[in-house]
Homo-oligomer: A and B are copies of this chain.
Amino acid sequence: MFELAKELQRDCILMAEWPLCTVLLMNDSQYPWFILVPRVAGAKEVIDLPEPQQIQFWQESAKLSRLLQDTFMPDKLNVAALGNMVPQLHVHHIARFKTDIAWPKPVWGLFSAKPYEDKEIAKIKANFV
Contact = CB atoms under 8 A, between A and B. Distances in A.
Interface of A: 44-47, 54-55, 58, 61-62, 65-66, 69, 76-85, 87, 96, 103-106, 108-109
A1 to B, nearest CB: 23
Total copies of the chain: 2
A82 B69 CA distance: 15
A65 B45 CA distance: 9
Contacts of A85: 104
A80 B77 contact: no
Given A76-B87, A81-B77, A82-B80, A106 B106 contact: yes
A45 B77 contact: yes
Nearest to A100: B84
Nearest to A110: B109
Contacts of A84: 76, 78, 96, 103-106
